[in-house]
């Protein structure tokens, strides 16, 4: 009798342990929500990490959906290069993490006036530029840009290269990049 009882309690304890292992976490989890806010009121909006979501009815259920056309600009500051690696008058192209993920190319140039940080992509059709003599040149169609400002020297590009804020501190060059 004692043996039967202990076998039964062992079995029920084992089953309970397995059940806890399988559903324990989910049973105590909060319902799917967004930044701690359940989607209960149709039309309600929440902005998380620069993106606005709206509570919408989808197939009879209220769910968070990204609100079209509301992506906000993301800004990040990265240590792009060590100061010692960029001599006066020189240009370097570096890859850095982009605000929206992935990487982006920067053209860094040191002049008497300081550091200029430009987006590496030509404003004509996006091909990367490179330093050729005194200019930044896009070899796809021949546009040229001024390294210290990004201004167009020769077309077909008509817009200057995108310029970012660059500062120097603690032996490094920091660039503030925007997602737009
Ligand atoms: S993409 Fe640079 S000149 Fe056309």
pLDDT tens for the chain, residues 1 to 180: 444 444 454 444 444 333 333 333 333 333 345 556 788 888 888 776 556 778 888 888 888 887 776 556 788 899 999 999 999 999 999 999 888 778 889 999 999 999 999 999 999 999 999 999 999 999 999 999 999 999 999 999 999 999 999 999 999 999 998 876
Q: Are residues 40 and 126 both part of a single domain?
A: no
CA distance 105 to 128: 8
pLDDT given for residue 75 in this prediction: 85
pLDDT value of residue 55: 83
Read off the CATH number of the domain in which 116 is found: 2.102.10.10
What is the CA(167)–ligand 1 centre distance, in A?
28
**Predicted local distance difference test score (pLDDT) of residue 19:** 38
Residues 55 and 135 in one domain: no
What is the 144 CA–ligand 1 centroid distance (Å)? 9
Which residue, by CA, sits nearest to atom 3 of ligand 1?
141
Query: Given this model, what pLDDT does residue 47 score?
Result: 72
Report pLDDT for 70: 57
Q: Are residues 132 and 154 located together in one domain of the fold? A: yes
Give the three-class secondary structure for 22: helix
7: helix, coil or strand?
helix
Beta bridge mates, 106: 94, 119
Residues 6+ apart with CB under 8 A from 32: none
User: DSSP secondary-structure letter at 128?
Assistant: B
In order of 88, 105, 128, the CA distances from 167 in angstroms are 15, 17, 23
Report pLDDT for 14: 41
Give domain status of residue 4, yes or no. Answer: no
**Of 151, 158, 156, whose CA–CA distance to 134 is shortest?**
151
Q: Is the CB of 180 under 6 A from ligand 1?
A: no
pLDDT at 86: 96
3-state DSSP call for residue 108? Answer: strand
Kindly list the distances between the CA atom of residue 113 and the CA atoms of 23, 89, 108, 148, 179, in Å, as whole numbers in the listed order. Answer: 63, 10, 13, 9, 26
Considering the domain architecture, whether residues 138 and 171 belong to the same structural domain is answered as yes
State whether 62 and 139 are in the same domain: no
In a domain, 168, yes or no: yes
Distance 175 CA to ligand 1 centre (A): 24
CB-ligand 1 contact for 127 (6 Å cutoff): yes
Q: Which domain holds residue 89?
A: 74-179
Please count the structural domains in the chain: 2
Q: What region does 133 belong to: left with phi over 0, alpha with psi -120 to 50, or beta?
A: left
**What Å distances lie between residue 161 and 7, 89, 152, 176, CA to CA?**
77, 18, 8, 15
């Amino acid at each position: 009798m004692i043996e039967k009882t202990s076998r039964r309690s062992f079995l029920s304890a084992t089953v309970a342990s397995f059940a806890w292992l399988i559903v324990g976490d989910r049973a105590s989890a909060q319902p799917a929500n967004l930044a701690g806010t359940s989607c209960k009121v149709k039309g309600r909006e929440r902005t998380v990490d620069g993106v606005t979501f709206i509570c919408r009815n989808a197939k009879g259920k209220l769910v968070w959906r990204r609100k079209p056309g509301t992506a906000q600009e993301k800004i990040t500051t990265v240590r792009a290069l060590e100061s010692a690696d960029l001599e006066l008058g020189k240009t370097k192209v570096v890859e850095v993490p982009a605000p929206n993920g992935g990487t982006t190319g920067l053209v860094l140039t040191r002049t008497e006036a300081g550091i200029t940080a430009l987006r590496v992509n030509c404003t004509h059709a996006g091909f990367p530029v490179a330093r050729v003599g005194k200019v930044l040149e896009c070899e796809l169609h021949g546009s040229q840009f001024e390294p210290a400002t990004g201004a167009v020297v020769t077309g077909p590009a008509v817009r200057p290269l995108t310029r970012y804020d660059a500062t120097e501190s603690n032996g490094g060059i920091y660039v503030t990049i925007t997602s737009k």
